[in-house]
Each structure stands twice: as structure tokens, then as C-alpha cells.
Chain A
Amino acid sequence: MDELILAAFAAETGEHIVKEPRERRFQRFRRTFDVDGYRLSLAERGFRFVGQNDPEYPPLLRELHDPPPGLFLRGAGRAELLRAPAVAIVGARACSSYGAQVARLLGRELASAGLVVLSGLARGVDAEAHRGALEAGGLTLAVLGCGIDRDYPAAHAQLARRMCERGVLASEYAPSVDPAPWRFPARNRIVAGLAAATVIVEARERSGALITADFAVETGREVFAVPGEITSSLSAGTNALLRLGATPLTSSDDVLDALGIVPVEAAPIQLGEHATAVLAELAREPAGADQLIRDTGLDASAVATALAELELVRAVTEAEGLYRGVRPAG
């Protein structure tokens, strides 16, 4: 009960509150607050509230030194989702196509291994991780830095709706709370707190994703960083994490190993002769279609056919004209 009053009071005053304040204002608010009416209005909109004292409250969150008093939830996913083993995949909003592809791939593979894919619904890496999990038909959970009804950023309103079909959107802020820059680092502590392991896909030197990594380290969780090119400023943050001792992530199996999950062996796929040749080229380095045409000696239409075939079995992905193999040839 008390946590809900606290959250409603925080929404009313626009403050970030984790402990009961001693102010008079709060006492007054508490006396006049209609708890049942508030719960009813939440339920009417399909929202739920899980307080610190409720049994569904995720135990991992209690390990934070300032755990949120409670979480507002939206979506069809059950509250137990919060307690399931989860992996956070976070990174730059303005990510490169490489970052986007890796995020989607990890989202897909970790979700199909049965983990909950956790992120922040932001543009770039976050959204790709969610999309990957949805593609695999897995469960995915977003923690927002605003009210769960706010659909922030607006461009991801549809993604949010799709996630709600089976997953959950969560926030410590009451519905209708506006996004504010200072709320996002606070949100990141919940992302790191809920996850058994955190993967940073791409981050600049001073990125919000690094804040998530700091929180994960503080609570003693595993931190993975995806190695990037040393010349790219988008990899500066992740490479710095690696220097500090984060575990380099070379495939989704690294995460599964660390969490003690046995990866499911992917069924080998049957490929045509041209597709095999193209995939062998892509195993060396990502390439554009013209380069593949030159290196394989096939004509333009044969390479196009092979690439579409490989895309359909999700063995390659394309971004900005560059094709990337996402599983080894053979």
C-alpha cells in the first residue's frame, strides 16, 4: 500500500523518491490519497503495480542500495517475468549498422535460449535487442524512464505495443510521468538490477550504457562488452570496459556459459551451391553485393538469389548495402 502512495506522491511532485519522506506535505498527501480508487484506475487501463512488499517483487532488485519502492507494469506478460533469468542488452542510440545487427542477433539468440531480454526501449541498440527477441518469439521486458503509458520515444509506440502482447513494460514512475534526462540514469539502475548479466553492445566514451555497466558491477553482476573497431568512436566505451576487465562477448554462447545454461544446438541448414559460396566469402569479412559478385565469380542475379536465400534462413543480415554473415559457414 505504502509504496503505491509513495510512487503517486513522487509523480505528483515530480521528484525521485525511494524512501518515505518526513515532510508534512507527504503526510497530508497520504491522508487524502484514495488508494483503492488509484488501483482501480490503473486496472482500468490494464496496468498493474508491484510493491516492494509484494511476493512478485524481483529479489534481484532488493540487492540494489536504493531499490525502487515498486514497479508499474504494462503488458500481458505475467509479473513472474520480473523474476525470470534476464539479460540486459544496452548500448548507443545512434549505433552503427554493426551494432544494430549484433544487438538484434543477441536478442534473438538469447531469447530463444529461454532468457528474458531486457532493455530500455530507446532507439538504436535497445530497440534492436527487443526486436530480436520478438523475432525469436521470446520474452522481452523494457524498463522506461517515464510513465509506462508514455510510449517514449514516440517512434517506438508500435514496438511497445508488440512487446506488450507477451512481455512487459516496467517503470518505477507512475503513469503520465514525463521523461526527463535525470530519470534515465535512475532507470538504468533498474535495468542492471533486474538482469543476471548485462551486455554493452556499442557505447561512446560517455554513454548512458556505461552507467548501466557501473550499476551492474556495483551489484556484482556479470558485464559483457562487445569488442569493436579501435578506430570507431562508437566502440570507445565498450573497448574501455574491456580494458577494465569486462568479459569480451564473442557469441551469445558466452552469456549462456556464464549463466550456466546449455545452449541448444542449432539445426544445420541446407544451402544451395551459390549460397554456400557466398556465405564462405562473408565468413571472411562483411561485403557489398558488388564485391561478392567479383569474389565469387557469379553473376549479379545469382548473387542476389543467394543473398535472399541466406537472409531467409537468417544466415546473413544486410544493412546499408553491406552484408554480414551471422553464423559460420558450413
Chain B
Amino acid sequence: MLARTVTHALVGLDARRVEVEAHLQRGLPAFAIVGLADRACQEAKERVRSGIASAELEWPLRRITVNLAPAELRKEGSGFDLPIALAVLAASRQVPADALLGHAAVGELALDGRLRPVGGVLAAAEGARQAGLSKLLCAAGCAAEAALAGIEPVPLRHLAEAVDYLRGDWVPPPVEKISLNGRHPEPAGPDLADVRGQQRGRRALELAAMGGHNLLLGGPPGTGKTMLARRLPGILPRLPPDEALEITRIHSVAGLLPPERPLVSVPPFRAPHHTASVSAIVGGGPNPRPGEASLAHHGVLFLDELPEFPRNALEALRQPLEDGAISIARVGGRIVFPARFQLVATMNLCPCGARGDPAAECSCSAARLAAYRDKLSRALLDRFDLVVTVPRPRAGELEAGPGEASEAVRLRVTAARERAAAEPLRRSKQANELLARAVERLPLSARGRARVASVARTAALLGGAGEVDAEHVAEALSYRSPTELGASWTS
């Protein structure tokens, strides 16, 4: 007796169709899973057996072989529990085999037969829809996520419900569809109103939010660098539907999607610790998974204490900073994860942290200082469009009232982004002259010139100007990269 269900295995962010075949034969009772199943997948045996028993169904006392085809594709994770259970039940004629037609299934079984959500449901649902399947059997917790793919989800709380549904004895409750354009409740992030003073830092943050520029905040510890950086997501415009869907798929594959908020509608903010490995940051593993850089796609990757990160991890970020994607090569093929993020980093000016603080004296030797700065390659530093040194605030600034709230800044940024999309901006004659003078005088590299021009455009758009003028170029010049600042960074 043979039965078949359809499910999906993830390769990178893509779902590949996998057929789960269950075959019951005479012989001593046994249960084998073949088809390159990993450890979690092999353990499905125990969960499926207990799940079927808990649903008060019969475990066939036969020789059971489950094949996951195509056999050469590596299968990982616990999402195969439900399709395996359904294939076994169909093969033992406990559910009608033809009821499974047009359905895909994904989900992990608890020992009591309940269904648990798994990662990557959105990708699986998209795969199912593209394969012409119309319904996806999945845990109730993932149903809303599956619905985003435009497929009809069958939300299940228990294996018994799946059986009742397939027998035609139970109609699943409708799944509330999430509108991609609608407003969704979001957890309130930290607000810019908490930041006192720091006018220059705030301005740089607003420019970064508007233009998607990479931002480096330097300065002695305790001056509010991290505090400022953490407030960037709060002033970024909401994600357009296609971007929201893209980032939701990545977070789903990584298993980071909270069931109560199945759509990531605000730009993600990822802050890996500096002890993170290279593959944790750019992605990797035997069956490659997205790293922090991809999880920050369309959002912010925040690296606190930049020079403390392993140098090879930082250098690995140069590819995504340039191409907006990370490709991971494996013997079996190449996997590409999107990673178009905005990089925000903080650093002290020296290892002891006292540099830039008038009240403290730096105790670092010249060699130690040089070693600290050598950790950051020029190529990486060149990727920062905006560099701001945040000195220790004076007492007077801390007594200042609360600053402008994030919401107001975000409205301004959103409006400026809309203007940016509407019309191209030209540079005035004076602006071009100033730019040429800066190239000669400062000196500014070709990449540096392009960077200054792009920040100047951002400043002009934020200011609502009709063209990029000299004042905008001048402002952009004041956020130059440390490789162009000379004295305090390179000696």
C-alpha cells in the first residue's frame, strides 16, 4: 500500500518540492525514513508515532518505509513531521488518499499530536502556489504567514483536525488575511525624544535615514553613540509591500518570525555582538542559512564597537555592501542571499577609549593606537558615507529639554523620499565648483567624491531645495571618512 504527500525543503531561501512516499509492507513491524534526512528529520519517527497514537488513530503494525524524493536533496528540520504522518495515515487507509490531492503540508508534531509552527512557511507556501497546489496544511500559528503567499492555508491545531478535515468531517476556520499595504501594530522602539543635545548626531542620523547612507559614529565611551544608532529604525519609512514580503521570507527561514506579527512591515534592525563568527554575520553552514547581514536586508545592520569584530568578518561584509547580496558557494551549488542593508557602526577613537574626551588622558602607546586603527581596512572605512565624531557632551547639553520625537522626523524623511522618487536633482554651478575645489584641496578620492555628491543630494532633498547647491555640498564635506581626515586617524 502506497500513499504520497507533497511538502517543501528549503535551499537557501527557495523551496524545492519534496514528495513524501509512504509504503506499507508485510513483515516485522519497522519504520525507516530514507532520502538524505538529517538528524532532526530522522527523529520525526518518534514524533510521528506518538502523534498518531495521541490522535487516537492506529499505528500500522507493518514494515513502513518513508521515502523523501528527490533523494539527492538534503532535508533538514522538523517540518516533515506532518507530511510523513499524513502519508502513513493515507497508506494505511485511515484518510482517503485522493483527499490529499492539491494539498501541500508542513509542520512539526508534538508528542500529544498538536502541531507546532516551523520556519520557512512563507517560502514553502510560495513554492506550493507556483507548483499549482491550492492549499497548504500547516500549524495554525503559521497560517497567516502562509496566506501572504496567496495560497489558501488550512490552519491546524492538532493532527486529529487534519484527519477530520481530509475525511470531510471538519471545516477549518477562515484565516484572516493580512493586507500588505495596511498599518500594523508595531512594538514601540526607542524614541529620539530621549536624546538630549547631540544636534550634529541627530542631523547625521536623519541624513542617513533619508539617503540610506552608511553611518560611522566615533567618540569616547558613554557619549550616546549607541543610543543614537538604536533610534535609526524609528525614523525610517515603512517598507513597501514587495520589500516587506522579501524580508519576511528571510526572517521566516531563519525562524525569527513571531506568530503574532507574521509580516515584517518595519525595516529590521540587527545588532550582532562582536563575538559573532563570520558565518553568523554573512550566512553559511553546511546547508546555508541567512546571516545577520541578510536578516538586516532592507533595514539596518548595527555593529557596536566596530574594531572589536574579527577582521575577516568585516571584510566579508564588503561584498554585500557593494552588491547588496551574499553568495555562498557549496559543492552542490551556489546560494544567493539578498543583503541590501544600511550599515551603522560605532567605535572608540583608541583602545583605552579616552581619546576625544577632554576630561581623560589617553594612555595608549603609538603602536597600540596604530594596531587598533589597522583593524579597519581603508576599503571598509571608505564605505561609510557619513562619519560623525561624538565628543563628550557638556553639562549644559544634558540639561536641555527632550529633542524632537522620532515620529516627526520619520514623516519628514518619508516626504523627502517621495520627492526623491518624483524628480531628479541637478547640481548647481556653485556646487560643482565647490566639489572640484574639495577634490583638489582635501584631497578627495573618486569614491569619496561620489559619496560627497550623494550625501549632498540627500541634504538638498531633506531641505526641500530645487537643486543641489554649494551649501549642501559643504555640509556633506563635513561628514568625511576618516581616511580623508588625516591627522587624528592615520598618524
Contact = CB atoms under 8 A, between A and B. Distances in A.
Contacts of A124: 366, 491
A105 to B, nearest CB: 10
Contact of A311 (B202, B358, B463, B478): B478
Contacts of A116: none
Contacts of A97: 355-356, 487-488
Interface in B177-198: 197-198
B366 A320 contact: no
A93 interface: yes
Contacts of B394: 291
Contacts of B491: 95, 100, 123-124, 127-128
B60 to A, nearest CB: 73
B487 A128 contact: yes
Contact of B477 (A303, A308, A321): A308
A205 B471 CA distance: 46
Given A94-B364, A318-B485, A299 B199 contact: yes
A127 B396 CA distance: 37
Interface residues on B, range: 35 or more
Nearest to B358: A322
A312 B463 contact: no
Interface in B10-60: none
Given A100-B488, A104-B487, A321-B218, A293 B199 contact: yes
A27 interface: no
A304 B474 contact: yes
Interface residues on A, range: 35 or more
Contact of A312 (B393, B437, B476, B487): B437
A304 B397 contact: no
A305 B478 contact: yes
B365 interface: yes
B110 interface: no
Interface string B474-491: 111111000001111001
Contacts of A151: none
Contacts of A93: 366
B200 A293 contact: yes
B375 to A, nearest CB: 14
B356 A321 contact: yes
A309 B476 CA distance: 11
Most chain A CB within 10 A, of B369, B475, B487, is at B487
B346 interface: no
B391 A320 contact: yes
A320 B463 contact: no
Contact of B202 (A104, A294, A300, A307): A300
B314 interface: no
A296 to B, nearest CB: 11
B316 interface: no
Contact of B475 (A94, A304, A319, A322): A304
A303 B199 CA distance: 10
Contacts of B203: 300-301, 304
A232 B390 contact: no
A101 interface: yes
Contacts of B393: 290
Interface in A86-131: 93-97, 100-101, 104, 123-124, 127-128, 131
Contact of A94 (B365, B434, B442, B478): B365
A308 B486 CA distance: 15
Contacts of A264: none
A301 B356 contact: no
Nearest to A320: B356
Interface string B364-401: 11100110000000000000000011110110110000
Contact of B200 (A123, A128, A153, A303): A303
B165 to A, nearest CB: 61
Contacts of A329: none
A94 B477 contact: no
Given A123-B491, A234-B361, 17 more contacts: A97-B356, A97-B487, A100-B488, A123-B366, A127-B491, A153-B370, A233-B361, A290-B197, A290-B200, A299-B199, A300-B200, A303-B199, A303-B200, A306-B474, A308-B476, A312-B434, A319-B485
Interface of B: 197-203, 218-219, 349, 355-356, 358, 361-362, 364-366, 369-370, 388-391, 393-394, 396-397, 434, 437-438, 441-442, 459, 463, 471, 474-479, 485-488, 491
11 contacts: A94-B365, A100-B488, A290-B199, A291-B397, A293-B199, A294-B199, A300-B202, A305-B478, A309-B474, A320-B218, A322-B356
